[in-house]
Structure 1
Amino acid sequence: MIAVDIDVLQSIMPRFSGANHSKQARIVEAISGKMQETLAKYEIDTPLRVAHFLAQIAHESAGFRTTEEFASGAAYEGRSDLGNSQPGDGRRYKGRGLLQLTGRANYRALGQKIGLDLEGNPELAAEPVTSLVIACEYWKSRNINRHCDRDDLIRVTKAVNGGLNGLDDRRRYLGKAKTALARVEALGHEANAKPNSRPVLRRGLKGSQVAALQEMLREKGYMVAIDGDFGPATETIVRQFQKNKKLDADGIVGSKTWKALEG
């Protein structure tokens, strides 16, 4: 399980000022301490699953800026399909959570699952840690992990949103999440590696080690730019090199790929 801490969230989230910054900071600080154990509980526990989850909640929460729908909720008044049977239920059970929970019936059912009286105290759903659990429960109920495993942003978004609203924004967050998680994973490998061993490199990383990799590929006759940026072009060349060496062509430069490059 990749460590998802406040540094990862801060590398994904947009920058705000004033009141919006304060709201965002409160949410991020609260959920970062519980993110690791909560995601693990719901088996959101691979780089792709975590990246897609972070991308979706980042978009749905307006950049981790809110755990409550901006609209008043009046549009849900009288919605029997949501269980809103009493006057004022639309506003009372408006959307709350990092992936928003809406309607009296849904508040009741989700509250029973997590052991909180959300129907009697709907404002609890906007509490940051509870809002994270709500998002994970929704994720589990729709079996969204299976779409993450295929890296299928379209299906993930449809499962979350019902359509493709905000797809470009979700795609942007997904790219940032993948880069942040790749950096964390590489640092973890490097910390556990032997002093003279090479780090694991993959798409999204930058720096001198990437430049060294590109130089070695050039020496092997592969025309790749030496810019220290492990982008799509470098990944394509790495896959081709691995294929030619009869290695697993996953685009990730681990010990076997390094050995082939150094041979």
Structure 2
Amino acid sequence: MIPPFRQLLFTLLTSVYLSEPAKAEPPLITAEDLRKIAPFAKESYIHDIIDSRENLEAHGINTRLRMAHFLAQVMTETGGLKSLEQSGLDIAADPDLARDSDVALAAALAFWSRNAINKAADSHDRLKVRVLVNGPAANGFAQSKAWFNKIWNEALRDRELLGFEANGDLVPTLGSQDVASFDEILEETGFLDPASLALENAGNARRESILAFQRENGLRETGELDLATEDALLDPLQWRHRQAGPDDTALLNLLHRDATVRIDLKTGAVIVRSASGFEASSGRVTATAGGPSTAPSATSTEPSEQLAALLAMATPIYPEYAPVGDFNENPPSGVVQYGVIGDDDRFAATLEFDPLSHPFSSTVYILFKNKYGEEKSCTGAMVAPKAVLTAAHCIHSGTVKGAPYSDFVVVPGWVGGSINFGDCKALSAQVMGGWLAATSHTELHESDLGLIKLDCEIGKETGWFAMRALGEEEVGLEITVQGYASDRDPRAMQWLSKDWIREMQARKGFHRADTYGGTSGAPIYVSADNKTLVGIHTNTYFGLEEPWKSNNGFSPLTPERLAIISDWIDK
């Protein structure tokens, strides 16, 4: 009989020598991947990255999303692993960085960890990642997005099949975004007029801009985004010289989250106002419903040909912090379609309300043009005779690099083929200071609230919502979301869905009422009385963490915000 210890030793030895050798873990990124992503990269730089596998893992760069973000920044700073001279590293102080790419990589990894950039990468917050690398100006942001798309689409998206973590369905990177990123670069370099992309000959406009860029940079004139042209557009020389302009610098110095920004929608001029004079109301109800005491005697008319044309062209606008994912292939668990969670329980608001009465008459369709001249749509809520509360992303694209929208047309109570109250144009708008001051997607979603001032007092005919502050203890309050969803026919119809407040944070609330594109800016009101506004719908589920990934979001009305809104209305 073999003694127990010898039996154990025999078992261990045979398991070592007789079993199959353990298979090595597949690498997250390979040299072949890097050559495909950056075809003009130096081989020595490629090998330094591949040889740094253990160092990358030591710094927590061990998921597809973290690797994609890290490599996107490395590619942006080095022009696709071509040169460290343009990398932003302090080569003058430390010449070894220029000679030794492995030293430069170690420095980049130390910087990455020291600034906790993995956290921003885990949230897929591309703006925050770029700000942490480059500073508040976020120069090279468009290039970093283009690099991320290349890295994800050409190398890392399919790594899930090799056993890496499965979060591909929550990283909304579509092939079409590659073109959009290069359009943005061509615009920043002065070769592309964004308004030309809204015309029927947008393809020709893009081709002409590429030809002009190729001509000026001594490239073969193909009019196509060939490898050489992409390489030139992604070169750090295209953005390294740019700094925040004097206007941007002044704005950044003045802006903070609780300031307010007034936008002249005729000229695009921006004025920053301090919020120091705003006094928060301690009461629940700070504004009562208003308008005619009886149902208005509106005259129903058909929309003009111009309005009908705008409606036909309009597509929804989405906030950059919650981009639309490709959910047709890999929908998140429980999601039917964008903004719809579980069974779609939306129904036409005309089944519950008279289109000539509140809240139908006080809910408005907002049409406007983005910077590319494309017709876009949102929803809003009348809160005074000539004031509409909506989402900030329905007014301005966000951050100091963004721009206000234009050519606003506001139509209250539009239903099918009937315009019951006419329409108004917009004179000015106000947004939270944090919407422009934001240096991350988190800061954007916490400031997504704005107000449009109209050129007519149409609210005297339609009526307007009462407003009150929400308390964090009001989780469970039954609410209704009512707006102009873009996926239903007729387009000019309000659709509503009911739920309750699932979670409250200081500047964000969450619900699971079903929504769709076009519902951005829609009123969220108390279901018990159908007239008290407590928030503005802003976004659908997004990201990798709760409560974001399982709930739709809204900007709640707080005592501080009600004081600011009151000031907006008065001014």
TM-score (normalised: structure 1): 0.52
Q: Secondary structure of the equivalent of 2:330?
A: helix
Q: 1:164 aligns with which of 108, 119, 138?
A: 138
* Counterpart pick for 2:335 among 231, 243, 246: 243
Are residues 243 and 57 of structure 1, via their aligned partners in 2, closer, same or farther at CA, if it must alter by over 3 Å? same
Which one has more relative contact order, counting CA pairs under 8 Å at least 6 apart?
A: 1
Please say if residues 57 and 64 of structure 1, whose CA atoms lie closer than 8 Å, have aligned partners that are also in contact: yes
Match of 2:118 among 132, 141, 145: 145
- What is the aligned-residue RMSD (CA, Å)? 3.6
Distance 1:101 1:183, change over 3 A: farther
Matched, 1:101 2:90: yes
8 Å Cα contact 1:39-1:45 kept in structure 2: yes
**What is the rounded CA distance, in whole Å, between the counterparts of 1:138 and 1:201 in structure 2?**
27
Q: CA deviation at 1:47?
A: 1.6
Name the count of aligned residue pairs.
164
Q: 1:59 aligns with which of 54, 64, 76?
A: 76
By how many angstroms is 1:26 displaced? 2.4
Q: Identity across aligned pairs (percent)?
A: 25
Q: Which residue does 1:3 correspond to in 2?
A: 28
Distance verdict in 2 for CA 1:99–1:139, change over 3 Å: farther
Matches within 5 A, 1:104-119: 104=93, 107=94
Q: CA deviation at 1:11?
A: 2.8
CA gap of 1:30–1:161, structure 2 versus 1, over 3 A, is same
Q: What aligned pairs does 1:171-250 form with structure 2 within 5 A after superposition?
A: 171-179=145-153, 180-186=155-161, 188-189=162-163, 234-236=326-328, 238-239=330-331, 242-243=334-335
Partner of residue 218, structure 2: none
Shift of 1:30: 3.0
CA separation of 1:239 and 1:156: change in aligned 2, threshold 3 A = same
- Alpha-carbon contact 2:174-2:326 (below 8 Å) kept: no
Higher helix share: 1
- The residue identity in structure 1 corresponding to 2:89 is Q
CA shift in 2, pair 1:240/1:31, >3 Å: closer
Conserved 8 A contact 1:11-1:176: no
Equivalent of residue 44 in structure 2, options 7, 10, 26: 26
Q: CA deviation at 1:235?
A: 2.4
Partner of 1:227: none
The structural deviation recorded for 1:141 is 1.4
Distance 1:183 1:240 in 2: 17
Helix, strand or coil at the partner of 2:82 = coil
Max radius of gyration: which structure? 2
Among 39, 63, 70, the alignment partner of 2:56 is 39
Q: Kindly state the Cα deviation for residue 236 of structure 1 after the two structures are TM-superposed.
A: 4.2
Q: For residues 65-104 of structure 1, what are the structure 2 equivalents within 5 Å?
A: 65-69=82-86, 100-101=89-90, 104=93
Structure 1 gaps of 5+ residues are 70-97, 108-121, 191-198, 207-231, 252-263
Shift of 1:205: 10
Counterpart Cα distance in 1 of 2:332 and 2:97: 52
Q: Structure 2 stretches of 5 or more lacking a match?
A: 1-24, 176-323, 343-540, 544-571
Matched to 1:28, the amino acid is I
TM-superposed CA distance for 1:189, in Å, is 3.7
Distance in 2, Cα, partners of 1:161 & 1:32: 25
The C-alpha deviation readout for 1:221-261, integer Å capped at 9, x for no partner, is: xxxxxxxxxxx775246327743597xx999xxxxxxxxxx
Decide whether aligned partners of structure 1 residues 9 and 243 sit closer, same or farther in structure 2, where only a CA change above 3 A counts: same
What SS is found at the alignment partner of 1:54? helix
TM-score (norm 2): 0.25
* Deviation by residue 1:28-53 (Cα, 9 ceiling, x = unmatched): 1332222x212101112222111100
- Post-superposition Cα deviations, 1:87-108, rounded to whole Å, max 9, x if no partner, equal xxxxxxxxxxx6623564xx5x
CA pair 233-153 structure 1, distance change in 2 beyond 3 A? closer
1-structure distance, mates of 2:167, 2:128: 30
How many angstroms apart in 2 are the aligned matches of 1:201 and 1:146? 17
Match of 2:7 in 1: none
Asked if structure 1 preserves the Cα contact closer than 8 Å seen for 2:130 and 2:141, the reply is yes
Q: 1:129 deviation in Å?
A: 1.5
CA gap 1:43/1:189 in 2 versus in 1, 3 angstroms: closer
Q: In structure 1, what is the Cα distance between the partners aligned to 2:65 and 2:103?
A: 23
- Mean Cα deviation higher: 129-138 or 25-34: 25-34
Instruction: Give me the whole-angstrom Cα distance separating, in 2, the residues matched to 1:250 and 1:151.
Output: 10
